[in-house]
């Protein structure tokens, strides 16, 4: 394929311009004349990016002060003329047309590949500027897929057997998708393991304390009966003796106490929490259901206690009202008052001990009944996690061998270039992924500008050959590359030279091309 013509409207410094292109096209002009703009116009027309492949650059590419921008590039693709145009006329984005109709999804990529693939061929120097991961992706997509069986044969037998039944129908993309899926599963499995570990530790702490000692009431039935009788007697004595002020103080205190107890119960009604207290993950449905049932029982007991407090409060209030209407009398007998107060303190302590025992017994029974299952779940989760990690290692090895096989094929297309994808530790023999480019045995970073361009031209030519498509190449600052036309190009050549004069686009003379 090759570029036949370019039409620009309000693109960069151009208001309106049209240029014709040839098999070997020379672009010349002084700095700032727009030589690089023509290459950028081609890229924006195809992909909507700038010449570095960056998106959302329309405002910078549009001529200052204008609200509309358009680029039309006429291509010769598979022997047919194809007109591709992109127009930006609003803030909503640009419109891409192919022969006057909206481009179909994937149509441009089907001809030219991704923007990174296209730029790696079209603009020498772009590929070498990519991050290693991005460069590997470009290489892998330009080289035909490697049969799965060939990749498995290069792997360790253990990892190869793990992937024997897997299907990677989309090549490297399928492998990347499978690896991400396993990583997500590992993350979920690790969270579940943490939850189960916390649960087992909690159960172990309860079991180590052992079964709680049976609850034995300290107040006998006889003492309770004596207390009730004494309380009634005290009330009768207080009423008969008329110690209204003392009784009222007690009733006021009792009313306040009942109010505080009622509010405390109301504000502390248990709420269901079906998440692990250690890791915060949701509990399994059966455990959540048991927790909800236990909370419901606790709430029922609390509400019953609140009703008791409420009823007693009404009784106290009624007695207060009655006593406030009575005249003052002498205080009740001190021994009777002391006995009632002592019994009330003992009964209160009795209640707390009974509630504490019930809670400890429930925790012990729950730990005893679920600890073994929690251990089994933890073991199963740990084994599953280990299997996932081994599978991820197998996928990583498959990806590595897949890339290595692809790039071995690609390196077969080079004459002077060598792309290194791995380094071997001479002491341990360990193989690690790497990415280094050499040209004629020299590292890319040590090459001169001219040598780097020649290296990138060779890489681009190999990528185009691997895709089976002749692609145009745009060489900027071509005056810095000695005997540029001695290089082998797979398709159209566009060479931009700095010259003292306005922008010109012309066919290279035969003599110069020779």
The structure tokens listed for 455 are 């290296």
The structure tokens listed for 296 are 């419901």
The structure tokens listed for 308 are 């008791």
**Average per-residue pLDDT in the chain?**
87
Between CA 174 and CA 145 the distance in angstroms is 11
Write down the pLDDT at residue 267: 84
Helix (H, G, I), strand (E, B) or coil at 493: strand
Between CA 185 and CA 194 the distance in angstroms is 14
The structure tokens listed for 185 are 């599963």
The structure tokens listed for 115 are 């923007």
Average pLDDT of span 95-123: 94
Cβ burial 177-206 (10 Å sphere, 16+ → b, else e):
ebbeebeebbeebeebbbbbbbbbebbeeb
Write down the pLDDT at residue 186: 96
Dihedrals φ, ψ of 15, to 5°?
Answer: -85, -60
Average pLDDT of span 58-65: 92
Cβ neighbours around 514 below 10 Å, total: 7
Specify whether the CB–CB gap between 32 and 2 falls below 8 A: no
154: pLDDT confidence band, cut at 50, 70 and 90?
Answer: very high
Write down the pLDDT at residue 435: 82
Dihedrals φ, ψ of 131, to 5°?
Answer: -65, 150
Q: What is the pLDDT of residues 429-444, one digit of tens each?
A: 566 777 889 999 999 9
Domain ranges of the chain: 2-154+446-513
Secondary structure, 3-state, 165-234: CCCCCCCHHHHHHHHHHHHHHHHHHHHHHHHHHHHHHHHHHHHHHCCCCCCCCCCCHHHHHHHHHHHHHH
Q: 62: which DSSP letter? A: B
Specify whether the CB–CB gap between 243 and 332 falls below 8 A: yes
Between CA 140 and CA 311 the distance in angstroms is 80
CB-based contacts of 392-397 (< 8 A; 24+ apart in sequence): 392/179, 392/182, 392/183, 392/186, 393/159, 394/155, 394/158, 394/159, 394/160, 394/162, 394/163, 395/163, 395/175, 395/178, 395/179, 395/182, 396/179, 397/155, 397/156, 397/159
Write down the pLDDT at residue 329: 55
The structure tokens listed for 27 are 């672009």
Q: What is the pLDDT of residues 232-250, one digit of tens each?
A: 887 776 556 555 677 778 8
Whether the pLDDT of residue 218 is over 90: the answer is no
274: pLDDT confidence band, cut at 50, 70 and 90?
Answer: confident
Q: What is the pLDDT of residues 332-363, one digit of tens each?
A: 678 888 888 899 999 999 999 899 999 999 99
Write down the pLDDT at residue 425: 65
Sheet of 504-507: strand order equals 473-475, 493-498, 24-29, 504-507
Specify whether the CB–CB gap between 323 and 250 falls below 8 A: no
CA 305 to chain centre: 49
426: pLDDT confidence band, cut at 50, 70 and 90?
Answer: low
CATH topology of domain 2-154+446-513: Rossmann fold (3.40.50)
Between CA 350 and CA 360 the distance in angstroms is 15
Helix (H, G, I), strand (E, B) or coil at 419: strand
Global pTM? Answer: 0.57
Q: What is the pLDDT of residues 71-80, one digit of tens each?
A: 999 999 999 9
Sheet of 14-20: strand order equals 14-20, 2-11, 69-77, 80-90, 93-98, 101-102
Average pLDDT of span 83-99: 91
Write down the pLDDT at residue 266: 86
Q: What is the pLDDT of residues 291-328, one digit of tens each?
A: 888 888 888 888 898 899 899 989 989 988 887 776 55
How far CA 319 is from CA of 81, 413, 492, in Å, comes to: 105, 105, 108
Average pLDDT of span 368-376: 91
Top pLDDT among 23 and 429 is at 23
511: pLDDT confidence band, cut at 50, 70 and 90?
Answer: very low
As a whole-number percent, the residues of the chain with pLDDT over 90 amount to 51
Write down the pLDDT at residue 430: 63
Top pLDDT among 192 and 302 is at 192
Write down the pLDDT at residue 513: 47
């Amino acid at each position: 394929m090759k570029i036949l013509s370019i039409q620009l409207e309000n693109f960069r410094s151009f208001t309106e311009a049209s240029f014709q292109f040839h098999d070997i096209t020379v672009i010349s002009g002084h700095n700032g004349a727009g030589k690089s703009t023509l290459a950028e116009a081609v890229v924006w027309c195809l992909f909507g990016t700038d010449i570095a492949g960056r998106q959302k650059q329309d405002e910078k590419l549009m001529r200052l002060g204008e609200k509309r921008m358009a680029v039309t590039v006429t291509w010769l693709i598979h022997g047919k003329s194809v007109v591709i145009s992109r127009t930006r006329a609003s803030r909503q984005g640009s419109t891409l047309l192919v022969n006057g109709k909206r481009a179909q999804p994937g149509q441009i990529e089907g001809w030219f590949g991704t923007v990174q693939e296209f730029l790696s061929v079209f603009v020498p120097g772009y590929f070498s500027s990519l991050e290693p991961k991005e460069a590997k992706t470009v290489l892998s997509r330009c080289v035909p897929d490697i049969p799965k069986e060939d990749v498995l044969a290069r792997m360790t037998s253990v990892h190869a057997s793990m992937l024997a039944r897997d299907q990677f129908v989309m090549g490297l993309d399928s492998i990347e998708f499978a690896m991400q899926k396993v990583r997500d599963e590992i993350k979920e499995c690790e969270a579940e393991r943490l939850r189960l570990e916390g649960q087992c530790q909690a159960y172990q702490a309860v079991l180590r304390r052992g079964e709680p000692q049976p609850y034995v009431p300290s107040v006998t039935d006889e003492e309770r009966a004596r207390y009730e009788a004494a309380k009634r007697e005290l009330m009768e004595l207080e009423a008969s003796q008329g110690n209204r002020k003392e009784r009222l103080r007690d009733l006021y205190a009792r009313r306040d106490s009942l109010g505080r107890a009622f509010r405390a119960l109301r504000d502390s009604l248990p709420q269901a929490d079906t998440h692990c207290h250690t890791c915060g993950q949701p509990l399994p449905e059966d455990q959540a259901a048991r927790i909800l049932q236990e909370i419901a029982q606790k709430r029922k007991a609390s509400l019953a206690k609140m009703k008791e407090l409420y009823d007693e409060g009404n009784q106290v209030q009624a007695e207060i009202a009655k006593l406030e209407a009575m005249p003052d009398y002498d205080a009740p007998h001190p021994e009777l008052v002391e006995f009632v107060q002592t019994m009330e303190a003992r009964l209160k302590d009795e209640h707390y001990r009974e509630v504490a025992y019930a809670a400890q017994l429930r925790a012990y029974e729950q730990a005893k009944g679920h600890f073994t299952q929690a251990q089994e779940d933890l073991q199963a989760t740990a084994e599953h996690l280990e299997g996932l990690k081994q599978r991820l290692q197998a996928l990583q090895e498959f990806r590595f061998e897949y890339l290595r096989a692809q790039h071995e094929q690609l390196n077969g297309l080079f004459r002077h270039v060598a792309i290194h994808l791995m380094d071997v530790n001479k002491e341990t023999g360990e193989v690690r992924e790497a990415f280094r480019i050499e040209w004629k045995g020299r590292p890319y970073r040590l090459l001169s500008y001219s040598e780097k361009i020649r290296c990138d031209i060779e890489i681009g030519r190999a990528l185009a050959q691997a895709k089976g498509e002749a692609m145009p190449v745009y060489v900027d600052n071509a005056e810095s590359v000695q005997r540029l036309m001695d290089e082998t190009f797979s398709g159209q050549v566009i060479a931009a030279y700095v010259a003292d004069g306005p922008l010109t686009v012309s066919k290279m003379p035969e003599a110069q091309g020779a």
